[in-house]
Amino acid sequence: MVHQGDVMFQMDRKPFQASLDAARAEFAQQKARLDTAQANLNRVRPLVAKNALSQKDLDDSVGQQQAAAAALEQARANVTSAQLNLGYTTITAPVTGLSSFAKKQDGSYIDASNSLLTYVAKLDPMWINFSLSENEMLNLRSQTANGTLKLPQVGKLEADIVLADGSTYPYTGRIAFADASLSDKTGTYLIRAEVPNPKGSLRPGQFVRIKLRGADRSNAIAVPQNAVIQGPRGAFVWTVDKDNKAQQRSIETGEWNGNDWVVSSGLHAGDRVVVDNTLRLMPGAPVNPHVVQAPAKAADAGGAASGAASGAAANGDNGANGGNATASNGGSNGAVSGGKMASSASGSTQLYFRSGSASLDVQSASALAAVAQRLAASPDARVVVSGYTDSTGSAAQNDRLAHARADTVRSALIVAGVQDARIDMRKPARVVATDPADKSRRVDVTLSPAAGG
């Protein structure tokens, strides 16, 4: 820890001290010339008034005095410049903060191209920069315009910080800055949160997750993340109809609310959603449902749609409160479990990449974050990542693409807080003729043994 003004580096002062001495000598010389010119002018003026000297003699004396005064000012500026250069040889801490290591050793030559010696990080407060894509920003504006989402006043939007290990940072930040323009390099809007850091537990360069609080969403529907399944045609859930039979329902998901997905379409208040044993279900299969209570804390969950839980509770007597708003059963709060099925679902998640791409879309990244949360709830569980290679085209290129996709999934899991030791990478399997055409774009993420959902 260094304090503002502490001396950190000292450059060789001798050449700069010599330049300052020379500038001071030049200043003294020019001052003497000005004194001489001024004295000469003082003698010439009365003589010209008595016509003892010509007007030209007076003009010459005035010009010499003015030239000497200008030369003195230039010499004064040279002294100031030399003093500044000498002062730069003593390098002090610009702010109070934590210093990095010295990037140069004693005797190193420094010039404009390699002038970085170290950096000092001001730890309190900390700035956390994150971005919203253009689509997310347009969607946010659309929801705000139609009244679906109500944002707080400027400066009232709060930010909860989630660390890499899944723990929540004890101090709440606030949105302090939002860029006015879209970045032409990344296609995103820069947003900055400012958060107190009195103990210095946050460090520069650290990656965290941001959950925004303060927005209000009325009449929202949310389901637990483990109830949402990603298929080749998009997200879907299993519902239980009035005859207690399983039905597959396609949905569109929005953002997270705590451990829940906010559902933008596909479900209605009162629908019963299966949250356990989903891999054992088939359309029309009989289900013996068991209604489970929604967690009491779900209504306080943060996120960009933190008002979703309270909005669902406002639906009336037939609505459920908390995050499981779509899992009501005759006014009861909760979600539907598979009942008599022997074991919990294995938690397999299928991710589909775009053709020729190894980049995750937002929905797949969100699904991996849900996998990370289930792993956090089951310390003994592991996750198996396995991809597929296409049997057509270049075998080497297809193999590289399959490995790149699996590595992308692995990196996303690590960023979400999963320890690398808990991730098992399997060799990509080859797609055969009887497999679906889109299987070559798939990566399977399976929990083994099954993690709780």
The domain that holds 393 is classified in CATH as: 3.30.1330.60
Task: Single out the residue of 430, 425, 439 nearest to residue 384, CA to CA.
Answer: 425
Residue 331 has pLDDT above 70, yes or no: no
Mean pLDDT of 428-442: 75
* pLDDT score at 305: 30
Domain boundary among 316, 337, 358: 337
Domain boundary among 313, 337, 361: 337
Residues linked to residue 352 through DSSP beta bridges, in sequence order: 442
The answer as to whether 114 is a domain residue is no
The answer as to whether 295 is a domain residue is yes
Mean pLDDT of 3-11: 83
Domain boundary among 163, 197, 214: 214
Chain-wide mean pLDDT for the chain? 78
Q: Rounded to the nearest 5 degrees, what angle is found at the Cα of 184, between the Cα atoms of 179 and 190?
A: 25
The answer as to whether 266 is a domain residue is yes
* pLDDT score at 27: 95
Q: For position 13, which CATH number holds? A: 1.10.287.470
Provide the pLDDT confidence category of residue 433 given band limits of 50, 70 and 90. low
What is the count of structural domains for the chain?
A: 4
Which amino acid is it at 427? K
Mean pLDDT of 69-84: 95
The answer as to whether 43 is a domain residue is yes
Long-range contacts of 262-268 (CB under 8 A, 24+ apart): 262/217, 262/220, 262/221, 262/222, 262/305, 262/308, 263/221, 263/222, 263/223, 263/326, 266/237, 267/221, 267/223, 267/237, 267/239, 267/326, 268/221, 268/326
The answer as to whether 117 is a domain residue is no
What percentage of residues in the chain have a pLDDT greater than 90?
A: 15
Q: For position 237, which CATH number holds? A: 2.40.420.20
First to last CA, the chain: 44
Provide the pLDDT confidence category of residue 300 given band limits of 50, 70 and 90. very low
What percentage of residues in the chain have a pLDDT greater than 70?
A: 85
Beta strand pairing status for 382-389 and 349-352?
A: unpaired
Q: 229 and 156, same structural domain?
A: no
Cis peptide before 449 (omega within 30 of 0): yes
Residue 41 has pLDDT above 50, yes or no: yes
Residue 229 has pLDDT above 90, yes or no: no
Provide the pLDDT confidence category of residue 311 given band limits of 50, 70 and 90. very low
Beta strands in 278-365 (DSSP E): 290-292, 335-337, 349-352
The answer as to whether 44 is a domain residue is yes
Residue 198 has pLDDT above 50, yes or no: yes
Q: 205 and 262, same structural domain?
A: no
Q: 394 and 296, same structural domain?
A: no
Provide the pLDDT confidence category of residue 34 given band limits of 50, 70 and 90. very high
Domain range for 174 is 123-214
Q: 225 and 331, same structural domain?
A: yes
Q: 195 and 170, same structural domain?
A: yes
Q: Which is more confidently placed, 287 or 318?
A: 287
The answer as to whether 102 is a domain residue is no
Q: 328 and 228, same structural domain?
A: yes
Provide the pLDDT confidence category of residue 337 given band limits of 50, 70 and 90. very low
Residue 25 has pLDDT above 90, yes or no: yes
Q: 42 and 79, same structural domain?
A: yes
* pLDDT score at 72: 95
Buried b (16+ CB within 10 A) or exposed e, 243-282: eeebbebebebbbbbbbbbbbbebbeebbbbbbbbbbbbe
Q: 77 and 172, same structural domain?
A: no
Beta strand pairing status for 382-389 and 423-425?
A: parallel
Q: Which is more confidently placed, 83 or 224?
A: 83
Q: 321 and 280, same structural domain?
A: yes
Q: 327 and 231, same structural domain?
A: yes
Q: 364 and 327, same structural domain?
A: no
The answer as to whether 115 is a domain residue is no
Q: 80 and 156, same structural domain?
A: no
